[in-house]
Amino acid sequence: MDWQGQKLAEMLMQLLLVASAVAAFVVGYAMADFQLMLLVYAGGVVLTALVTVPNWPFFNRHPLKWLDAAEADRHPRPQVSATPSTVGKKKAGKNK
């Protein structure tokens, strides 16, 4: 799952949970059945999990474009070098 996919999954989860809660209340109130309300909501939670938990293809539409490994060799990491001469310069500077 790519970054855009994660954002989409989060949004879908929020939307589906709220929608199933609203639907559950409407059904429960209309049928005057509290248990039915909870069952509809439980169904909504299971559906939400099925939609947002597995790594579906539509969560991978924005793959990251990694640079080629050869690019790292062309720009080597700067090396830290602490030579005695530079240390001596710093000390001299402090004494002035």
Binding site for another protein (CB under 8 A): 21, 24-25, 28-29, 32-34, 37, 41
Minimum CB–partner distance for residue 9 and another protein (Å): 23
Nearer to another protein, 41 or 59 (CB): 41
Q: Which residues of 57-78 are buried (b: 16+ CB within 10 A; e: fewer)?
A: eebeeeeeeeeeeeeeeeeeee
Nearer to another protein, 3 or 29 (CB): 29
Minimum CB–partner distance for residue 32 and another protein (Å): 4
Minimum CB–partner distance for residue 35 and another protein (Å): 9
Burial group, residue 52, by CB count within 10 angstroms (0-12, 13-18, 19+): buried
The token pair at 32 is 């005057």
Nearer to another protein, 16 or 37 (CB): 37
Tell me the C-alpha distance between 33 and 74, whole Å. 69
Nearer to another protein, 2 or 36 (CB): 36
